[in-house]
Amino acid sequence: MQTIFRGRHFISEQEWTREEIDTALEVSFDLKRRFATGEPHRLLPDKTVFMMFFEQSTRTRNSMEAGITQLGGHAHDLTPDKMQLSHGESAKDTAIILSRMGHAIACRNCFYGIGNEYLRELARWSTVPILNLQCDVYHPMQGLADLMVMQEKFGRDLRGLKVCISWAYATSHAKPVSVPQSQILLFTRYGMDVRVAAPKEFPLQQAIVEQAQQNARHGGRLTFTDDMDAGFEGAQIVIPKNWGGFAWFDKWEDSEAQKKEMKANLEKSKGWICDARRMKLADKHVKYMHALPADRGKEVTDEVIDGPHSIVYDEAENRLHTAKAVMALTMGGR
Ligand code: CP
């Protein structure tokens, strides 16, 4: 078990070894048990985490804030409008100043082509851990919680588990690709048989796919289909979720013509919903997962998300335990 984490950044799960992720999961299970029994676990007394949210959040914000409180510390819930970065203050100055006042800087910035670079710039200047609360490329906190719930339902050895990560239709907003990207990176490292189903207009980033293919070399598998039904066939876990039509990635100009094309692509795939018929194509004991929030009636029917196969609330609860583990290890520990 790897035990030396103090001061480490958690920007992508890829930068933590498999042994380190195993330790984070072990600590998450321990903290969940202590939470369940009411055993105090003030591992970070008087420590401060600064949370900078460039976007909305329910699970991430509250798992971090409740988590640090339970660990004996405190969170500052910051948004750009509360900070001088709204007047152009640099990531460098922000990181140096906050480092001098507290013990970790956590940030969500999902703007395409900007988010991950912003976190990297914070990390360049910070003397305390930078914790990624979701960027344009990765959502490592979600990935960890997903692994935890999978181990709870299928046992610690996840090798060979058939998982379908599927694109799904949604209209609330173009959801980041960071969730499926963190999932393919992590799940392949744990030896799972991962199938990604998505219309061709909604690819994942090529560099991440290549990295996940490398990860799969140690016993995992990563395959692709543009047929949602084929993706669901025999799957033991299905994770159908929208992600934006950022097919252009580097070519994205935010032009009206591109936006129109993206909307047309979205409407073409309106039938990509997780419903009872599709669930029947999967293994009879299949589990339904979603990072949430879900577009009910679009990504998934109420019958499925509220049904016996759904484990979305266990998955969401694990955001608390895994966030606490990451903070306890990087802000405290040894
Ligand atoms: N899954 C997730 O990150 O949820 P929030 O956007 O509510 O934080």
**Secondary structure E strands in 192-250:** 193-197, 221-225, 237-241
Both 192 and 285 in one domain: the answer is yes
Both 73 and 105 in one domain: the answer is yes
Both 23 and 161 in one domain: the answer is no
Name the token pair of 293.
Answer: 């929030």
Name every protein residue with a CB atom under 6 angstroms from any ligand 1 atom.
Answer: 57-60, 134, 142, 291-292
Ligand 1 atom with minimal separation from the 108 CA: 8
* Distance of CA 39 from the midpoint of ligand 1 (Å): 27
6 within some domain = no
Both 273 and 237 in one domain: the answer is yes
pTM (two decimals): 0.96
Q: Measure the CA–CA gap between 133 and 114, rounded to whole angstroms.
A: 14
Q: Measure the CA–CA gap between 30 and 138, rounded to whole angstroms.
A: 25
* Distance of CA 38 from the midpoint of ligand 1 (Å): 26
| CATH number of the structural domain spanning residue 127 | 3.40.50.1370
For 276, the domain range is 142-315
What's the sign of the alpha-carbon dihedral 97, 101, 106, 108? negative
165 within some domain = yes
* Distance of CA 217 from the midpoint of ligand 1 (Å): 30
Both 171 and 122 in one domain: the answer is no
* Distance of CA 134 from the midpoint of ligand 1 (Å): 8
Q: Do 136 and 249 form a contact (C-beta atoms < 8 A)?
A: no
Per-residue pLDDT of the chain (334 residues; tens, 9 = 90+): 888 899 999 999 999 999 999 999 999 999 999 999 999 999 999 999 999 999 999 999 999 999 999 999 999 999 999 999 999 999 999 999 999 999 999 999 999 889 999 999 999 999 999 999 999 999 999 999 999 999 999 999 999 999 999 999 999 888 899 999 999 999 999 999 999 999 999 999 999 999 999 999 989 999 999 999 999 999 999 999 999 866 556 666 778 887 788 888 899 999 999 999 999 999 999 999 999 999 999 999 999 999 999 999 999 999 999 999 999 999 997 7
100 within some domain = yes
Which of 57, 65, 146 for a ligand 1 pocket mutation test, highest count of atoms within 8 Å of Cβ?
Answer: 57
The amino acid at 53 = F
* Distance of CA 55 from the midpoint of ligand 1 (Å): 10
- When divided into structural domains, the chain yields a total of 2
Ligand 1 atom with minimal separation from the 63 CA: 8
Both 294 and 149 in one domain: the answer is yes
